[in-house]
Amino acid sequence: MAEELNPFKISQEQLDSAAELMGLDKAAHQILREPKRMLTMNIPVKMHDGAVKVFRSFRVHYNDARGPTKGGIRFHPKETEDTVKALAAWMTWKCSLANIPYGGGKGGVVCDTKSMNAGELESLSRAYIRALGDFIGPRIDIPAPDVYTNPQEMAWMMDEYSKIVGHNEFGVITGKPLEVGGSEGRFDSTAMGGMYVLREAAKAKKINLRKATIAIQGFGNAGNFAFDLSKKLFGSKILAISDSSGGVYSEKGLDYQKLKESKAKTGSVEYYKDKGAEKITNDELLEMDVDILIPSAIENQITASNADKINAKIVLELANGPVTPAADEVLFQRGILDLPDFLVNSGGVIVSYFEWVQNIQSFYWTEADVYKRLDAMMTKSFSDVMGMQRSYKEKGKKISPRTAAYIVAVGRVAAAMKIRGWY
């Protein structure tokens, strides 16, 4: 039987597994298997040639027991309802695990940004916010950038919402430019948070990061910063990196500036030029013999079909959903420390929370303040997960870090729903 790769069904399967282990109340489990509410929209936008194009769009509020929902907006040609629902579920657990006062949300627009000019992107961004109406707000649901969206779109969206309510409302959107209420440290926060988790994991696995070898799948925002930060913070050697077109490997290690230049000139890191460098496929990268593998591209990259070929000691899930449940079990049984996405990549939403707090207070922090607070929260989350794993081991049950993370996160959401009288 083929492995299930539908992202929402995967998210439900992960929840079900944790719910059974922790003895979750049946009513709470039933509530948490589905989003609380979802808005589906068809948004008309006049394009540069005068034609009107209708864009199918979504926004999901998965659960708001712990606070307003929080989650990014994706502009992607293959965006689906199930992907958005899954990402909103994972955001629920991510915010809970980080112990910030948010629920989980997510948004998406089916579009190809590469075929749109700046004017069309602005029109779509503003139309999306107008269509959402009362579905968002700084105390209701707070969007942020995600795949193929950036601070500029967030600025347009914030401005459109401010026009609707009749006053500046910077706190409705995070991931904004600094000039309009953005936070220092926001743009590398996902990767930076992941680096703090990697530091703690390396201690647990007794790996010297200064001598460690790394392979990174993906050279977008997260992968780009992961490369730069792992060199700057730890002095690790990055042997391989890839993007959607292909990858490159060098036994002596890759040069960050040359990679950026290659990407800018050719559109792909696979055309990186240096002595000893050679092209590789994404599959070859995933199966490389390195200390640390960092999937930072898209979901379902490590599956039942290749999990037995993974050779890294640590898998640091910087992407959303890169490892399927079946693969997770294989990695765990093989003794590979697979650190789950909603732990590893929670730095983005944590610093988004910091941005929201700063917007509400109209008092802004230094970059050093942001990183110090982020470090403390990521370190605490890692400790909570490892502590839950140990507690189950003491009861005679071996559980993966992902299951432990789910038990921590789901338990907090269920407790909030119980106290509020939802079940």
Q: What is the pLDDT of residue 320?
A: 84
**So where are the chain's domains?**
36-180, 189-344
Helix, coil or strand: residue 167: coil
The H helix count followed by the E strand count for the chain is 14, 12
279 given a catalytic annotation: no
Q: What is the pLDDT of residue 321?
A: 83
DSSP assigned state of 320: S
pTM (predicted TM-score): 0.92
Asked if the domains 36-180 and 189-344 are classified in one and the same CATH topology, the answer is: yes
Backbone angles phi, psi at 42, to 5 degrees: -115, 110
The correct CATH number of 189-344 out of 3.20.20.60, 3.40.50.720, 3.40.50.300, 3.30.70.270 is 3.40.50.720
In order along its 423 residues, the chain shows pLDDT tens digits of: 566 678 899 899 989 999 999 999 999 999 999 999 999 999 999 999 999 999 999 999 999 999 999 999 999 999 999 999 999 999 999 999 999 999 999 999 999 999 999 999 999 999 999 999 899 999 999 999 988 999 999 999 999 999 999 999 999 999 999 999 999 998 899 999 999 999 999 999 999 999 999 999 998 888 999 999 999 999 999 999 998 888 999 999 999 999 999 898 988 888 888 888 999 999 999 999 999 999 998 778 899 999 999 999 999 999 988 998 889 999 999 999 999 999 999 999 999 999 999 999 999 999 999 999 999 999 999 999 999 999 999 999 999 999 999 999 999 999 999 999 999
Q: What is the pLDDT of residue 2?
A: 61
pLDDT digits (tens, 9 = 90+) for 68-96: 999 999 999 999 999 999 999 999 999 99
Cβ distance 55 to 110 under 8 Å?
yes
**Angle separating helix axes 347-361 and 367-394, nearest 10 degrees:** 130
pLDDT digits (tens, 9 = 90+) for 221-262: 889 999 999 999 999 999 999 988 889 999 999 999 999 998
Amino acid at 113: T
Which spans in 308-346 are helix H?
325-333, 341-344
Cβ distance 27 to 418 under 8 Å?
no
In Å, what is the CA distance from 217 to each residue of 37, 122, 281? 34, 30, 10
Look at residues 340, 342, 362 and name the one whose alpha carbon lies nearest to residue 350: 342
227's tokens = 């490369």
Cβ distance 132 to 108 under 8 Å?
no
Catalytic residue among 70, 85, 94, 106: 106
Within the chain, what is the greatest distance between any pair of CA atoms? 66
Cβ distance 47 to 21 under 8 Å?
no
Q: Which CATH number is associated with domain 36-180?
A: 3.40.50.10860
Residue with tokens 């399967």: 13
Length of the chain: 423
Q: How many CB atoms lie within 10 A of CB 144?
A: 27
Look at residues 4, 22, 3, 88 and name the one whose alpha carbon lies nearest to residue 403: 22
